[in-house]
């Protein structure tokens, strides 16, 4: 009688790829009712030739399973076990077809070695052996330094090649860490990162989170876990750029500026250059500044120009010291203000006082009160007697240049 299996196939054998123990698979019984050596048979396993497997994977699976016992007489209950589970990868192969071969050890009289076979289908169960993988190595986001609560900052996305809750469907974004994480919300399902709705950004304590003038970038870590947030984890870096808002008023580097110039001159004694800075983002409209002279009631403002880009004040037309109202002194002052403003929307500006010290030049000659003085004196006039008194004035208005000295010329 030939060797015979009680069942020609065995299905629904499931194997956990994450179980390091020797997995036992349900297998049928085999029997040969011949007597003595004629009833002795050997057992072994083969991969089903009809299963489409690449060469490398087939080679890995050859020694994955083994059967016990290897030999029996009359009947045996087969036990198929796993020798090496490293080749069992659910993501590569979800089902394996094995063929159990029972072969007579000794041929019956008049017969060649007879054999029989049965199919064993092994279904691989998925194990949570893969961590979520983010779609990018680094994520970038941006937010205004004066953000609207609830506005989107960035969105991360991860996948997991495991199935079910161990796979992409079970991914939860579980943690957001970094210096501004307290001001952000992370949606555990979608990976969407937004500005918290409950943050009062008008409060000085919270406004520092997004102050671009303190930090232009922030580096955070986003964590994702599978198994509904309780399984394997992975992290990714999130870089948030803070976009500028025109919230910085241009400021002059000095509280006031002073220039010195002599009348009739077209250059200051030293260059008069005003300097201002704007702490908003460099090379943007918010930080690009322009200088201008503020309209003033002083009639002398028109004597000056200012370069709108450099802040350098130059003389448009020379000054006349004597035309400037004031007491007799070495210098007289002209005061006005300069404004600096940026190109933001709306533009912000500030002003600074400028004082010009104008010094007198000796540009006026003394003038006698008469063009001719005449006087008759007797021939016997006494020595030291007064003959005539002359008078002259000088139009210069400084003490040194307006003082008049007299002498006689032969």
Question: What pLDDT shows up at residue 345?
Answer: 92
Do 92 and 171 belong together in one domain? no
Q: Are residues 228 and 260 in the same domain?
A: no
Q: What is the CATH number of the domain that holds 268?
A: 2.60.40.60
pLDDT of residue 208: 64
Closest CA to 149 of 195, 112, 190: 195
- Over the stretch 208-255, which tens digit does the pLDDT of each residue have? 689 898 899 999 999 999 999 999 999 999 999 999 999 999 999 999
pLDDT for 203: 47
Q: Based on the domain organization, do 120 and 159 belong to the same domain?
A: no
State whether 309 and 268 are in the same domain.
yes
Same domain membership, residue 273 and residue 219: no
Burial group, residue 148, by CB count within 10 angstroms (0-12, 13-18, 19+): exposed
Domain boundary among 78, 101, 125: 125
* Residue 151 forms part of a structural domain: yes
d(CA 379, CA 382): 9
| 216, 241 contact by CB (below 8 A) | yes
Same domain, 182 and 284: no
- Assigned domain for 387 exists: no
For the record, the structure tokens of 115 come out as 């054999």
Domain for residue 118, yes or no?
A: yes
151 and 76 assigned to the same domain: no
Number of domains in the chain: 3
Give the domain-ending residue among 212, 243, 274.
243
CA separation for the pair 366, 391 (Å, rounded):
10
In the listed set 182, 213, 243, which residue is the last one of a domain according to the structure?
243
Instruction: List the beta bridge partners of residue 257.
Output: 354
Q: Is residue 398 part of a domain?
A: no
Count of alpha carbons within 13 angstroms of residue 274, beta-carbon side: 32
Do 23 and 109 sit in the same domain of this protein?
yes
CA distance 197 to 142: 17
Q: Is residue 402, in this structure, part of any structural domain at all? A: no
Instruction: Return the pLDDT at 10.
Output: 56
Domain match, 154 and 225 both? yes
* Residue 340 within any structural domain of the chain: yes
Residue 142's domain spans which residues?
A: 133-243
163 lies in the same domain as 224 = yes
Specify whether 225 is located in the same domain as 274: no
Residue 394 lies in a domain: no
Four-CA torsion 61, 67, 71, 74, nearest 10 degrees: -130
pTM of the model: 0.63
Using H for helix, E for strand and C for coil, what is the string for the chain?
A: CCCEECCCEEEEEEEECCCCCCCEECCCEEECCCCHHHHEEEEEEEECCCCCCCHHHHHHHCCCEEEECCEEECEEECEEEECCHHHCCCCCCCEEEEEEEEEECCCCCCCCCCEEEEEEEEEEECCCCCCCEECCCEEEEEEECCCCCCCEEEECCEECCCCHHHCHHHCEEEEEECCCHHHEEECCCCCEEEECCCCCCCCHHHHHHHCCCCCCEEEEEEEEECCCCCCCEEEEEEEEEEECCCCCCCEECCCCEEEEEECCCCCCCCCEECCEECCCCCCCCCCCEEEEECCCCCCCHHHEEECCCCCEEEECCCCCHHHCCCCCCCEEEEEEEEEEEECCCCCCEEEEEEEEEEECCCCCCCEECCCCCCCCCCCCCCCCCCCCCCCEECCCCCHHHHCCCCCCCC
Q: Which residues of the chain have pLDDT under 70?
A: 1, 7-27, 108-111, 198-208, 410
Report the pLDDT value the prediction gives residue 27, as an integer from 0 to 100. Answer: 63
State residue 229's pLDDT score.
94
Residues 74 and 143 in one domain: no
Residue 377 belongs to a domain: no
């Amino acid at each position: 009688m030939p060797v015979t299996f009680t069942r020609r196939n065995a299905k629904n054998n499931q194997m956990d790829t994450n179980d390091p123990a020797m997995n036992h698979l349900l297998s049928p019984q085999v029997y040969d009712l011949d007597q003595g050596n004629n009833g002795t048979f050997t057992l072994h396993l083969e991969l089903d030739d009809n299963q489409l497997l690449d060469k490398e994977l087939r080679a890995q699976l050859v020694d994955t399973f083994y059967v016990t016992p290897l030999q029996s007489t009359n009947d045996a209950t087969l036990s198929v076990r796993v020798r090496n589970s490293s080749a069992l990868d659910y993501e590569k192969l979800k089902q394996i077809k094995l063929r159990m071969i029972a072969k007579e050890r000794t041929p019956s009289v008049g017969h060649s070695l007879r054999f029989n076979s049965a199919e064993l289908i092994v279904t691989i169960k998925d194990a949570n052996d893969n961590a979520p993988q983010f779609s990018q190595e680094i994520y970038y986001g941006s937010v205004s330094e004066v953000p609207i609560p609830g506005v989107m900052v960035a969105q991360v996305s991860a996948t997991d090649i495991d199935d079910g809750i161990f796979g992409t469907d079970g991914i939860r974004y579980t943690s957001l860490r970094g210096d501004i994480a307290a001001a952000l919300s992370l949606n555990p399902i979608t990976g969407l990162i937004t500005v918290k709705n409950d943050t009062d950004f008008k409060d000085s304590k919270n406004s520092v989170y997004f102050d671009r003038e303190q930090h232009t970038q922030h580096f955070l870590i986003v964590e994702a876990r599978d198994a509904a947030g309780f399984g394997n984890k992975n992290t990714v870096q999130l870089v948030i750029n803070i976009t500028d808002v025109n919230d910085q008023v241009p400021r002059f580097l000095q509280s006031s500026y002073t220039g010195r110039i002599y009348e009739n001159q077209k250059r200051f004694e030293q260059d008069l250059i005003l300097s201002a800075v704007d702490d908003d983002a460099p090379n943007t409209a918010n930080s690009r500044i322009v200088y201008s002279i503020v309209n003033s009631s002083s009639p002398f403002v028109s004597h000056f120009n200012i370069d709108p880009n450099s802040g350098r004040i130059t003389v448009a037309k020379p000054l006349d010291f004597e035309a400037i109202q004031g007491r007799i002194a070495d210098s007289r002052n002209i005061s006005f203000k300069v404004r600096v403003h940026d190109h933001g929307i709306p533009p912000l500006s500030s002003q600074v006082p400028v004082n010009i010290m104008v010094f007198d030049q000796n540009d006026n000659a003394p003038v006698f009160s008469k063009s001719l003085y005449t006087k008759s004196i007797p021939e016997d006039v006494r020595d030291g007697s007064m003959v005539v008194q002359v008078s002259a004035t000088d139009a210069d208005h400084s003490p040194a240049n307006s003082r008049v000295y007299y002498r006689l010329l032969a």
